[in-house]
Amino acid sequence: MPKKVHLGDKGETSLVGKTVNKCCCNTESLGNVDELNSYLGLIRSLNKNSNVENALRKVQNDLFVIGTELANSKSNVKILETDVKFLESFIDEIESQLRPLNKFIIPTGSQTASLLHVARTICRRAERNVVALSEKEKVSETILAYLNRLSDLLFVMARLANKIENIPDVKWKR
């Protein structure tokens, strides 16, 4: 039986019909968006709030759109300003149910809240990678805005998850 050698064995992968290095900004950005999407799937499997479930389902679909657009900027599939507005509206809706913060909080609490905080940090990493990519090639500003708002949404969702389970925010003390 002949030995199978694939592009990936040599640190390369195929991206929209061209061979690229697995550590280039584009594959790094795509990998982080994919990791975030998978983590949101895990959170959805544990979540009990139907509004959060519906929002996360939409976000997961949006992340596929972002991945498609990052892989091929000429794609007809694009993240839209209305997608960013959806995040902003949901942030406002959740914040109206929470006490205002005047101090930093420690990312902890319920299992769901803690996972949402991890997802938030993955989102921030994805955002940083996409910013780095945007310095090398054209990236939609809407993608950058979306990832920025998404990390804000994940933060307030974590706070809401704790509130639902009657777990108070743990304020950072210095």
Per-residue pLDDT of 53-86, as tens digits, reads: 999 999 999 999 999 999 887 888 899 999 999 9
Burial of residue 68 (CB within 10 Å: 0-12, 13-18, 19+) is middle
Which residues does 164 contact at the CB level (< 8 Å), separation at least 6?
Answer: 48, 49, 110
pLDDT < 50 stretches in the chain = none
Token pair listed for 107: 């990312």
Residues 147, 124: Cα–Cα separation, whole Å = 7
Distance between CA 41 and CA 135 in Å, rounded?
30
Q: Given this model, what pLDDT does residue 16 score?
A: 60
Find out if CATH 3.40.50.2300 is the number for domain 17-164: no
